[in-house]
Amino acid sequence: MVLVEEGITTEEDLVQRYGPTFTTSRDNAFQAVKTIRIVRNLLCHMQGSVKGLSQPSFECLWGLASEALSDLANALGGNHPVRLAARCAELLGSLGEHTGNNAGSSAESVCSATPTESAAEPEGIETWGVEKVLAFFERCNFPTEGTQAGIVDGASLLALYQDPDADSLFMGPTPDGFGFNKLMFKGRFKKEMERLVAKPLLPS
């Protein structure tokens, strides 16, 4: 609904034209291709696009496109998933280097090292309760089924993230895993966790 609130599309179009495609793009290569085309068309026909995207809109559209591309890369197999993850990380990193216009500044607020709302929390992640972990996942558009099934608090999340088998834990299917795709886990999730873990302790 952020696309509706930001005026990028109408609620009618979202529900009737785009919603069914978006919800099935993770598991269907044809719908993934349609999702990429929809995102492209939305960006090409935005009114006032010279102002750039807001942070919520960018995160929404980036999430839709990256998940669709990840599905296609997995369908192709071979080294395509790894190449895609590397390319996406490169693109996100490059956005933080361009600050010469408003559109770049808007994207930079999402993609650079600037902390998100969750990373700006004053207390350490190890003190978070289950509800705060769930809110963190929801803000970042991460799958929440594994968090809810495992009743994961901050200390548990940190321990799982630092586990040698973290890749399998986070990319495994729910309820035993978190249901992340490779791009999501190795991209934004790792960046968010690195920021949270690296926060200096507050003076007592």
What pLDDT sits at residue 201? 42
Q: Report residue 59's pLDDT band, with 50, 70 and 90 as the boundaries.
A: confident
Q: Calculate the alpha carbon distances from 136 to 51, 183, 201 in Å.
A: 28, 18, 20
What share of the chain in percent tops pLDDT 70? Answer: 77
DSSP for 58-115, please give it: HHHHHHHHHHHHHHHHHHH-TTHHHHHHHHHHHHHHHHTT--SSHHHHHHHHHHSS--
Mean pLDDT for 100-111 is 39
User: What confidence tens digit (pLDDT) does each residue in 110-129 have?
Assistant: 333 333 444 344 457 888 88
Return the H-helix or E-strand segment holding 13: helix 11-13
pLDDT of residue 1: 76
Pick from 22-31, 85-94, 124-133 the range whose average pLDDT is largest: 124-133
Whether residue 162 has pLDDT greater than 50: yes
Of 161 and 84, the one with more pLDDT: 161
Over 80: is that where the pLDDT of 137 sits? yes
Which whole number is the average pLDDT over 67-78? 82
The pLDDT, as a whole number, for residue 68 is: 84
For the chain, the structural domain boundaries read: 2-111, 125-198
186 vs 10, 104, 190, CA distance in Å?
33, 23, 6
Average pLDDT, the chain: 75
| 87: its two tokens | 């390319």
Question: What confidence score (pLDDT) does residue 52 get?
Answer: 65
pLDDT > 80? residue 22: yes
pLDDT at 203: 39
- Per-residue pLDDT, averaged over 16-44, amounts to 82
